[in-house]
Amino acid sequence: EPEVTQTPSHQVTQMGQEVILRCVPISNHLYFYWYRQILGQKVEFLVSFYNNEISEKSEIFDDQFSVERPDGSNFTLKIRSTKLEDSAMYFCASQRAPAGRGPNEQFFGPGTRLTVL
């Protein structure tokens, strides 16, 4: 069964460093999302992406964050200058195009645990 994959599973970095989190969505999916979960808190929406551009972003997704789909398969989240408060589990999700009117299931990757020291 197709699945969303994410790498690395765990990333440790120093404050101020840049990190790139990678996701490979399911191949025929067209809508992509990043969510994050700070330890002990609920999952929060960061950004949605379709047709090579951001569809929507949350107030968390400030200028330090960027997303791109560089090669038609990978979907990346870059944090330019990490802060301590960026430590969280980051989840990628993908979703196929709607067959008609109506919502679709989102498929989640296993997550990348980012630790900023």
Partner 1 sequence: KNEVEQSPQNLTAQEGEFITINCSYSVGISALHWLQQHPGGGIVSLFMLSSGKKKHGRLIATINIQEKHSSLHITASHPRDSAVYICAASPHSDNFGNEKLTFGTGTRLTIIP
Q: Toward partner 1, which CB reaches closer, 16 or 92?
A: 92
Angle at 32 between CA 98 and CA 70, to 5 degrees: 125
94 phi and psi angles, rounded to 5 deg: -130, 160
Closest CA to 89 of 77, 97, 80: 77
Give least dist CB 76 to partner 1, A.
19
Q: Toward partner 1, which CB reaches closer, 81 or 110?
A: 110
Residue numbers of the site for partner 1 (CB under 8 A)? Answer: 30-31, 33, 35, 37, 41-45, 48, 50, 55-56, 58, 89, 91, 95, 97-98, 101-108, 110-111, 113
